[in-house]
Amino acid sequence: MTLVRFISADGDRIDEVTAPSGARLLDVAQNIGQPLEGTCEGQMACSTCHVIVDAADFAKLPKASEEEEDMLDLASHVTRHSRLACQIWLDPALETLTVRIPAGVHNMQGR
C-alpha cells in the first residue's frame, strides 16, 4: 500500500488516499475526484494527466520512457519532476507518493 498525497495547484488543499500496489496513479487520482482528465486513458496521446512529483519521490520512480518524455513536451507548466500519471504504477517500495496538480488544469466539471 502507498499513501498518496495530491496537492492542489494553489497549494491550499492536500487530499490523501491509501492505494494498493499495482494501482495506476491516474486511476487513484480520478477515483477521489482529482482534476486530472486523462483524456486518452493512458494511450499516451493527450498529456492531460500531467503531475509534478515531489523531488524525493521522483527519484524513486522508474525513468520515464522516451514516449512519455515526448508527451510531456506538449504539457504546460512542466518541471524537472513532471510525469504522466497514466504511466506511474504504485510499487511496494513507494511508501508515500506526493504529487502536485499543475496550475491551469480543470476536470470535466470545470473545477
Nearest residue (CB) to ligand FES, 47 versus 98 = 47
Which residues of the chain form contacts with ligand FES (CB under 6 A)?
26, 38-42, 44-49, 71, 84, 86
Using CB atoms, what's the residue nearest to ligand FES? 86
Bridge partners (DSSP) of residue 18 are: 3
Distance between CA atoms of 68 and 41, rounded to whole angstroms?
A: 14
Least Cβ distance, residue 1 to ligand FES (angstroms): 23
E strands present in the chain: 2-7, 14-19, 50-53, 82-84, 96-100
What's the min distance (Å) between Cβ of 47 and ligand FES? 5
Rg (CA), the chain: 13
Q: Which is nearer to ligand FES, 1 or 45 (CB)?
A: 45
> Any bridge partners for residue 97, and if so which?
4
Give the residue with the Cβ less far from ligand FES, 40 or 64. Answer: 40
